[in-house]
Amino acid sequence: MSCSHKIYVIIPAAGSGSRMGKNSNKLFMKIGDKTVIERTLDAFNNYGNIYAIVVTNEENLEELRRLQNTNYPFIKSVILGGNSRTESVSKGVDELANIEDGPTADDYVFIHDGARCMITKDVIDNCVEGLADNKVCVAGVQAKNTIKVVHDGIVESTPDRSTLYEVQTPQCFHYNVLKKSYGNAKENNIEATDDTALAELLGYKVAIVEGSYSNIKITTPEDIIFAQGIS
């Protein structure tokens, strides 16, 4: 899909992978012949005309810089993250202002978890389309299961399932709105696993675009088996 706006992706990849039960970063586990992070990078690199910032940890900094210099010149910067995903993304947002050919106000910025390596071109297309009509959008899928609101082990309510979506990444913004959203989060010490929630707090409308049930976040060992099955 052609797009008159420049497109950037911030890839938070600085997690510890503790739920994988391993000491090393889950993003370097293999699915077939490639690692999780390589698959994620391939999806955006192959899409074309996207610049990336990868946020990583001390342990993987050198390896990611090696990947940048060999296979992935679309990565404009590899930087160190923080103790939370919000902090890591926030550093990525700051870094956008430092890179050569950085974004202008209305350019598009996606935030995409390094761990969501099954992202497809169709989902990226949907995000690009979503930003043509909205300042903020997020890939999501309708909840397949009934979801309960629970307090202290007791069900408080059962929301109508047709109104419930599970959101994924990409979480997508026009650059000026992203800067405002993360600026506010930093000022007020707000943590979020869902970046677009930070824009909601400022009153922006967030559109849902179609994600995919296979766009899973590699988190626990069975996710690797699932990803191997569909890759």
The residue within the footprint of ligand C5P, chosen from 7, 41, 43, 55 (CB under 6 A), is: 55
Q: Which residue, 119 or 135, has its beta carbon nearer to ligand C5P?
A: 119
Segment 26 to 45, residues that bind ligand C5P, using CB under 6 A: 27
Give the integer Cα–Cα distance in Å for 77 and 8. 11
What is residue 137's three-state secondary structure? strand
Segment 200 to 219, residues that bind ligand C5P, using CB under 6 A: 217, 219
The residue within the footprint of ligand C5P, chosen from 79, 81, 103, 124 (CB under 6 A), is: 81
Cβ of 175: how many Cβ atoms within 10 Å? 21
Contact between 88 and ligand C5P (CB under 6 A)?
yes
* Residue 75 Cα to chain centre, angstroms: 15
Write down the least CB distance from residue 162 to ligand C5P, Å.
26
Contact between 46 and ligand C5P (CB under 6 A)?
no
Contact between 192 and ligand C5P (CB under 6 A)?
no
Tell me, by CB under 6 A, how many residues bind ligand C5P.
Answer: 18
Alpha helices, DSSP H, located in the chain: 36-47, 58-70, 85-96, 121-133, 175-187, 195-200, 221-230
Sign, CA dihedral 218-145-199-134, equals positive
Q: At what angle do helices 36-47 and 58-70 cross, to 10 degrees?
A: 40
Give the integer Cα–Cα distance in Å for 34 and 2. 28
The residue within the footprint of ligand C5P, chosen from 10, 12, 79, 111 (CB under 6 A), is: 12
Contact between 114 and ligand C5P (CB under 6 A)?
yes
Contact between 170 and ligand C5P (CB under 6 A)?
no
Whether 183 and 140 have beta carbons less than 8 Å apart is answered as no
Give the integer Cα–Cα distance in Å for 117 and 213. 13
Contact between 113 and ligand C5P (CB under 6 A)?
yes
Q: Which residue, 60 or 126, has its beta carbon nearer to ligand C5P?
A: 60
Contact between 23 and ligand C5P (CB under 6 A)?
no
Q: Which residues bind ligand C5P (CB under 6 A)?
A: 12-15, 27, 55, 81-85, 88, 113-115, 193, 217, 219
